[in-house]
Chain A
Amino acid sequence: DTAVSQTPKYLVTQMGNDKSIKCEQNLGHDTMYWYKQDSKKFLKIMFSYNNKELIINETVPNRFSPKSPDKAHLNLHINSLELGDSAVYFCASSPLRGLAGGSHPTGELFFGEGSRLTVL
């Protein structure tokens, strides 16, 4: 009954390979995210989808392509992996709550356990 689950938890691969990380949430949330955490523990947003629609796309190489088949799933595909892609990738979701002036994703995020990617 894990709320936000991502697979695989660990991924070790060679430079130049293509890999995917999958994420699923069973919280009924409308918004999902991918964050990257580097070796210094710095967390940086990569993408956000709201009900399958891309709403945030930070400056991320186009080797990274998110896909949201439905609002409960957000997968991350990475082409031509590079050494610098080694990091922990976190999926997260948040509910859509009404705030003054309209509905916006709330700031509270529910994170998965992370997927540690090591590129050799």
Chain B
Amino acid sequence: GENVGLHLPTLSVQEGDNSIINCAYSNSASDYFIWYKQESGKGPQFIIDIRSNMDKRQGQRVTVLLNKTVKHLSLQIAATQPGDSAVYFCAENIAPSHRLAFGKGNQVVVIP
């Protein structure tokens, strides 16, 4: 199948529990960060973004935390649902070229 040999970091989470996905970014000059969700067979979809002058931003059931000191980004999903099963990517916008660089994906599997 499509996922044979994929070896993505995988987080298995019980439905209703909270999920935390972590991401380390590489460039101190990055000024803007985005989390994307990619469901099987589809393109990545924007979830939430955060600018480098913030350390936390909340959306609907999602929260992004940014720690610039250690160049770390996390995505928290509250009350995880089966529809949250997907691959999640963090992306950094590297100033001044404004090209978006994607990190490695993290697979989230929600167990009903």
Contact = CB atoms under 8 A, between A and B. Distances in A.
Interface of A: 4, 35, 39-45, 48, 56, 90, 92, 104-114
Interface residues of B, number: 28
Main secondary structure of the interface of B (DSSP, over half): strand
A41 B98 contact: no
Contact of B44 (A39, A48, A90, A106): A90
B61 interface: no
Main secondary structure of the interface of A (DSSP, over half): strand
Interface in B88-107: 89, 91, 93, 97-102, 104-105
A97 to B, nearest CB: 11
B32 interface: yes
Contacts, number: 61
Interface of B: 5-8, 32-34, 36, 38, 41-46, 49, 87, 89, 91, 93, 97-102, 104-105
B87 A110 contact: no
A98 to B, nearest CB: 13
A-B complex: 9 closest residue pairs judged by Cβ atoms? A111-B43, A107-B93, A43-B102, A41-B105, A107-B32, A104-B98, A111-B44, A107-B100, A113-B43
A107 to B, nearest CB: 4
Kindly name the residue among B32, B93, B97, B99 whose own CB sees the greatest number of chain A CB atoms within 10 A. Answer: B99
B54 to A, nearest CB: 14
A114 B41 CA distance: 8
B46 to A, nearest CB: 5
6 contacts: A35-B102, A39-B6, A41-B38, A48-B99, A108-B49, A111-B44
